[in-house]
Structure 1
Amino acid sequence: MKIKTLFLCAGFTQSITDPFACKRAGGFCRHSCHPHFISIGICGIVQSCCRRRWVSSGCHKTDIIV
């Protein structure tokens, strides 16, 4: 018996195809996304839905023990 697992990220269960869906997903509409942002969908014919890239350093204050 095979078990299939589907992992879904919150806010990305449906495609982003309008400004309202873009805003709900934490994005904003622009003609092109700045290099520090990624395109997560579209807002219309000529606009992309952009959102900030989340980059983690991998080291947090709570990880440091003195």
Structure 2
Amino acid sequence: MTDEQISAKLSTKGRVTIPGAIREKLSLRPGNRLQFELRADGTLEARLATGESAVPAGSGDGGQE
């Protein structure tokens, strides 16, 4: 994947919607868990959590917590 810059707005509840183009490219689905890494240089990296499948079994709640 080439480097892309797409912005998203942080809600008052601290939520961010991952833009559709990014979700499609990464095959993200409702219920997937993401892992975040904040690096010393201020870079934030998000990736699909280890062991996650595209559609987790029994995720009827759409991943909402």
Q: TM-score range by the shorter chain?
A: under 0.3
- Taking structure 1 as the reference length, the TM-score comes to 0.24
| The structure with more strand, counted as a fraction of residues | 1
Rg comparison, structure with higher value: 1
- TM-score (normalizing by structure 2): 0.24
